[in-house]
Amino acid sequence: MINRGDPWLNRKGVAEMAAGFYRDVPDLNLVCDGVRAAGDHMVYLWTFTGHDANTGNPLKIQGLEE
């Protein structure tokens, strides 16, 4: 599931999502910056780097998943 969209039903859904990222950012690198937990809630903090496949511009995006 991305951004509260429909959940993926199997590994094929995850593979299709990942293929899109690697198509657009072929040198994609994802680093875990930390994990936070409180009760039954967990947050995964990450940084995504690479270069846009179309422009060659560098990318650095930080985010989180709940």
21-52 pLDDT, tens per residue?
Answer: 899 999 999 999 999 999 999 999 999 999 99
Q: How far apart are CA 61 and CA 13, in angstroms?
A: 23
CATH of domain 11-65: 3.10.450.50
Q: How far apart are CA 64 and CA 10, in angstroms?
A: 22
Local confidence band at 58 (pLDDT 50, 70, 90 cut-offs):
very high
Give me the pLDDT at residue 8, please.
Answer: 73
Q: What is the pTM of this model?
A: 0.73
The CB density around residue 53, as the number of other CB atoms within 10 Å, is 13
Q: How far apart are CA 2 and CA 34, in angstroms?
A: 19
Domain ranges for the chain: 11-65
Q: How far apart are CA 66 and CA 64, in angstroms?
A: 7
Question: Residue type for 17, please?
Answer: M
